[in-house]
Structure 1
Amino acid sequence: MPVSPSGNEEQRAAVITSAKNLFLQENKPKTFIPGSTYIPVTAKVVDENDLAHLIDASLDMWLTAGRYAREFEAQFGKYFGRTTKSLLVNSGSSANLVAVSSLGSPELEKFGMKPLVPGDEVITVAAGFPTTVNPIVQNGWKPVFIDVDAATINALPKLIMEAKTSKTRAVVLAHTLGNPYRADIIADWCKKEGLFLIEDCCDALGATIQDKPVGSFGEYATSSFYPAHHITMGEGGAVMSKDGRLKKIAESIRDWGRDCWCEPGKDNTCNKRFCWKLGDLPEGYDHKYIYSHVGYNLKVTDMQAALGISQLNKVESFIEARRKNWNYLYKGIKSSPTLSKYFTPVEATPETNPSWFGFPLYCNEGLNREKVVSSLEDKKVGTRLLFAGNLTKQPAYKNVDYRIHGDLKNTDRIMKELFWIGVHPALDQVKMDYMLEQLEAVTK
């Protein structure tokens, strides 16, 4: 834990110790009762050390991003194999908004890159979460939807390449449910074609492609710290940038669109605060109030960042547990004649090591997906669909200008036949055996 800026170490330590003891008293392990205790599809895993970090940050009363945020941004960028610090934002959805919006920055021209303009096309998939695609629409660009591979529920490089036209400027894709797509192949192709790549890693923290972390291939990558995800801040997200130039653009969009890069509470980092001449403003206009982008305020509090630091200390054990639980459920289905007849699990993408967010599986012929998930929920086994199913079928996109390359046959199959159950670290063998038993029960 970082050293307190106040110097009142003994008093602070006493408050934190008391809080940790209270947490342990009020959060004792609960007995699992099959059929009565609900098994959520996602669950945050927090302990007394998480609370200790949270309390420590709150005692500073700094409230906005501070010492913990700076530490997290430095550590998290390295986790993704980036040389630049990450940027904390208030959600994974905001991370996508910042990353995608950065592709339209006029600042890109200074670096020999052409910003996206209204009417440009961005290749993506319809089988996913809305806020991967929404920033494309919000920026006036045109989503080009392609189908996914049924086995891995991810887009294949070949189809992405075939969807390119003279208007194509970027590829924006999520690593679905923690199963990576071949971002290495796509990144190499994008570089040759002069396209941008954004990796949405919100469900895939810790996944690798040929031993390289997801999020290390595109111009930008994003992550989420919602309670359902691999680590949590309650709310929160992060943007990882390929280099410092791209980071500065994303940081401006995150911070109201300002041109200034001073940390909160600091002034005149550039040593020429009143010496700038930008836009049509008078010379010497206060740099703190010069805006180079149409931006937002999407920052986090230091209390969120403190929780993130504590969670990041445990991320490897969380990822290991998710993989172990996924493998247990996979073997359980494959080894059962009944389950393997009625359900088909999604497969890991070749040459990758997923960091599973959930356990997705198809209902085979003879099973009605809605009846299956309803029955599982009645038996206290949590379920989820693959988010929007097919975004082009959703009411929100009825009047959106988009293009479909080819057909969306597998996307429609996912919309009708696929669901997923949990693999989070709060599960154990007893709970997973019960989950498998209830899957078998719905087939009878």
Structure 2
Amino acid sequence: MTDTLRAEILALSRAHFEARANPRFVPGETYIPPSGKVMDAEDCAHLIDASLDMWLTAGRYADRFETELAAAFGRRYARLTVSGSAANLLAFATLASPKLGDRRIRPGAEVITVAAGFPTTVAPIVQNGCVPVFVDVDLETHNVDVALLEAAITPQTRAVMIAHSLGNPFDVVRVAEICRRHGLLLVEDCCDAFGATIGGQGVGTFGDLATLSFYPAHHITTGEGGAVLMERGPLAKIAESLRDWGRDCYCKPGVSNTCGNRFGWKLGDLPHGYDHKYTYSQIGYNLKMTDMQAALGVSQLGKLGHFVARRRENFAGLKRRLRERGLATVYHLPVATPGSEPSWFGYLLTVRDGAGIDRNALVARLEEKRVGTRLLFAGNLTRQPAFRDVTYRVHGDLTHTDKIMRDSFWVGIWPGVTEPMLDYMADTILAVTRELGG
């Protein structure tokens, strides 16, 4: 009876979702968001299926999502967490864990990164008492200048932690080789780049750890959510412990004696036989994903290939339209890193020097005309209020980073963007550019 009722509920949930009206795009009236989610009836059914279990923490869907996610990403292990930002924190904390011994990143160590990006790629460096070392990016790929990265290495450098910018891979082949030669740890923030490759190899498979975000703006969504991925079992064990309160026990929620020795351990200064489920070997967090979120992730993951393909199609379509309208002479248009196949997150335009266009006026007019825009996140982190009292080092200068801060913006090419939307976006960018004197 229960199975029959469940099947009926899920069938009705699919029918309900399909019955919802899809709004028609009206140029100049319908807002074109710079990012968004694409959902279907199966997503709805998965979410409701998990809710019917009334198992509100990680459960059967979380186990499945971790397994399938690791396989899709090309890593042996995945550990789900509550957001991409939490994934970055968990990844760095894993590499800073005393359980790594002499290889750990200790407080005071330098970590090379970039200032042109999202703050929570860099925040874990600061939160773990380390020193960010910022190097500049180039204007074409909006990614780290690898020559500057290697020149920034000092005896205090212990790691590199950088994001693949807007789905365009940084040259992680060279960066990974530099890290190998200098004995540095590498964290790849792939939150904007799920499905991108370089040299035929998936991003996130070069570093010691990689991170993903499943926020609705990203390639697949669980609402809120993220993941840390790795190849080595010891790193997975450390990450899982830190995510789950820092406990030494590795039982799944609702399981009590995986090790078969729950009341037989002698750890720390605790009395012999102290319950292993309440023994803590690290200073940790609670960053677990719920099973309802994981159920949505399982459904979304099956559509990843389609979503990535649509992003690439929209990128190519918008690029062609902008070139046809002569806008490549006014803006730097994004260029894929050599040897890469990006999984584009957004389409970045940077006003060329001498073009006479004020970026702030430009994005304000585009928004008025219902074309959504975003900046390249923090622009230059060193100029953000939060970094006024942070200890950091800049290698060289951040000329291109400042240029991006002043003159760059991006528009949407997510899978929900249609051909008529691309036409309207290109026409509107051209009209506003001319209006402002470009």
Q: Given the two structures, how large is their TM-score scaled by the length of structure 2? A: 0.97
Superposition map of 1:23-422 within 5 A: 23-26=17-20, 28-83=21-76, 85-109=77-101, 113-337=102-326, 339-364=327-352, 365-422=355-412
Residues 196 and 219, structure 1, Cα contact 8 Å, conserved in 2: yes
Distance 2:72 2:236 in 1: 16
**Which SS does the other structure have where 1:443 is aligned?**
helix
Percent identity of the aligned residues?
55
Counterpart AA for 1:352: S
Comparing 156-165 with 89-98, which one deviates more in the overlay? 156-165
How much does 1:74 deviate?
A: 0.4
Residues 135 and 145, structure 2, Cα contact 8 Å, conserved in 1: no
1:141-194 Cα distance to aligned partner (Å, 9 max, x none):
000011011111111322111110000000000000000011122112212211
How much does 1:8 deviate?
A: 2.7
Comparing 284-293 with 214-223, which one deviates more in the overlay? 284-293
**Which SS does the other structure have where 1:145 is aligned?**
strand
Runs of 4+ in 1 over 3 A off after TM superposition: none
**Which SS does the other structure have where 1:240 is aligned?**
strand
Residues 139 and 332, structure 2, Cα contact 8 Å, conserved in 1: no
In structure 1, what is the equivalent of residue 422 of structure 2?
Answer: 432
Residues 180 and 354, structure 1, Cα contact 8 Å, conserved in 2: yes
Q: Does 1:20 align with 2:14?
A: yes
Distance 2:223 2:167 in 1: 20
Residues 218 and 242, structure 1, Cα contact 8 Å, conserved in 2: no
Distance 2:243 2:58 in 1: 13
How much does 1:280 deviate?
A: 1.9
Comparing 138-147 with 281-290, which one deviates more in the overlay? 281-290
How much does 1:262 deviate?
A: 0.5
**Which SS does the other structure have where 2:212 is aligned?**
strand
Residues 180 and 349, structure 1, Cα contact 8 Å, conserved in 2: yes
Counterpart AA for 1:345: L
Distance 1:426 1:114 in 2: 44
Residues 255 and 299, structure 1, Cα contact 8 Å, conserved in 2: yes
Comparing 361-370 with 125-134, which one deviates more in the overlay? 361-370
Comparing 277-286 with 384-393, which one deviates more in the overlay? 277-286
In structure 2, what is the equivalent of residue 3 of structure 1?
Answer: none
How much does 1:241 deviate?
A: 1.4
How much does 1:285 deviate?
A: 1.6
**Which SS does the other structure have where 1:424 is aligned?**
coil
Counterpart AA for 1:299: K
Distance 1:30 1:384 in 2: 23
How much does 1:340 deviate?
A: 2.0
- Please, which runs of 5 or more residues in structure 1 have no aligned partner? 1-6
Counterpart AA for 2:145: L
Distance 2:87 2:154 in 1: 27
Residues 357 and 424, structure 1, Cα contact 8 Å, conserved in 2: yes
Counterpart AA for 1:18: L
**How many residues end up aligned between the 2 structures?**
432
Residues 27 and 424, structure 2, Cα contact 8 Å, conserved in 1: yes
Counterpart AA for 1:121: E
How much does 1:21 deviate?
A: 1.1
How much does 1:248 deviate?
A: 0.4
**Which SS does the other structure have where 2:103 is aligned?**
coil
Distance 1:284 1:187 in 2: 44
1:297-350 Cα distance to aligned partner (Å, 9 max, x none):
00011000000011011110000000000001111112222x122222111100
**Which SS does the other structure have where 1:276 is aligned?**
coil
Distance 1:228 1:247 in 2: 27
